[in-house]
Structure 1
Amino acid sequence: MTRFEVMKIHPGRGEWVDELVEVLHAAYRVEAALLGVDDFPPLRQGKEQIRRSPDTWMAAVCGSRVAGVISYERNGSVLTITRLAVHPDFFRRGVASSLLEEVLGHPGITRFEVSTGMKNGPAIRCYRKYGFRTKKIWGKDGILLIGLERE
């Protein structure tokens, strides 16, 4: 098992922005292939969107590389995971689990929410492993999505 340090980061201050874009785009290219789409909206996110994001960000860092990232919004006792991405070089090494466990340990949260592509089996399996259940299914931008929650 590869060793990671999970840390809170602040892309709004310019921290790790280049690395975040690299990880997000590498992971989203894999997700786009799983979903069978050429035009995947998350791939349009660049440095400026990352810097301006109001989300809270955490990264799993291995040496000098960002292996994975999670971002979320908290609204009272509800925490919505807005991104969870792992660089393909670090697939199946516990990165997503490490990031999820860090976020799921937040005190005072009564419900966690997340959505992903309906054909993204690896992500759905990971969320289900942590007790997430299907809340809704809908389409957006020609992609079938699944919303999951954990209470």
Structure 2
Amino acid sequence: MIAKLDSANDAVAKQIYTIFQRSYTIEAQLIGSLNFPPLSRTVNNIKNSTTVFYGYFAEECLAGVIELAITSKQLEINSLTVGPDHFRKGIADKLIDYVLNSFVAPTNITTAVVETAVLNGPAIKLYKKHGFVEFKRWMPDHGIEKLAMLAENLN
């Protein structure tokens, strides 16, 4: 089941934080980073975020989280994480399907964007499966090369 998460709620923010920490620790290892910026997010950062969070629940347990910023024309996926106990169960795929079907089809949103590390092959493969294509690469100050991916003409 997928549901909107009340990230302003302390207990919910702590659940999101736990999923982020567990998942991003593995991603940091995958890309060979000792200083991975998503790991520096705090519970308070999540509680005070202006983004929207949706969670995938497996047997009443939060198994995955997708974080979105939505404007009138664009959907931004700010984070997509799955708890390591739930890897390879199609949860990230279901979360992407959910947001594309829920926020794109019934609205005027025509594009979706996401950023990830160039070395994050599994994420790039997942986004390509959903029609995203690379449109930009750059090296931020933190030293992890990133790429941005775009899905257009979604309506």
Shorter-chain TM band: over 0.9
| TM-score, scaled to structure 1 | 0.94
Match runs of 1:97-108 below 5 Å? 97-105=93-101, 106=103, 107-108=106-107
The CA deviation string for residues 2-56 of structure 1, in whole angstroms up to 9 with x for no partner, is xxx1101111133521211110011101111111111111101110000011011
Distance 2:114 2:29 in 1: 20
- What fraction of aligned residue pairs are identical, expressed as a percent? 33
Q: Is the 8 A contact 1:6 1:61 kept in 2?
A: yes
Q: Which residue of 2 aligns with 1:23?
A: 19
Separation of aligned partners in 2, 1:94 and 1:15: 26
Counterpart of 2:146, as a letter, is L
Q: Contact 1:9–1:57 at 8 Å: present in 2 too?
A: yes
Q: Are positions 1:48 and 2:44 aligned together?
A: yes
1:88-140 deviation line (CA, Å, top 9, x unaligned): 11111010011101111112210000000110111000000000000101111
Letter aligned with residue 95 of structure 2: L
Match of 1:131 in 2: 131
TM-score, scaled relative to structure 2: 0.91
Structure 1 residues 145 and 96: CA distance shift in structure 2, 3 A: same
Q: Which residue of 1 aligns with 2:149?
A: 148
- Code of the residue aligned with 2:51 in structure 1: it is D
After superposition, residues 1-151 of structure 1 pair within 5 angstroms as: 5-14=1-10, 16-105=12-101, 106=103, 107-108=106-107, 109-140=109-140, 141-151=142-152
In the alignment, structure 1 segments of 5+ residues that lack a partner are none
Unaligned 5+ segments in structure 2 are none
Q: Which of the two has greater strand per residue?
A: 1
Q: Secondary structure at the match of 2:45?
A: helix
Equivalent residue letter for 2:93: S
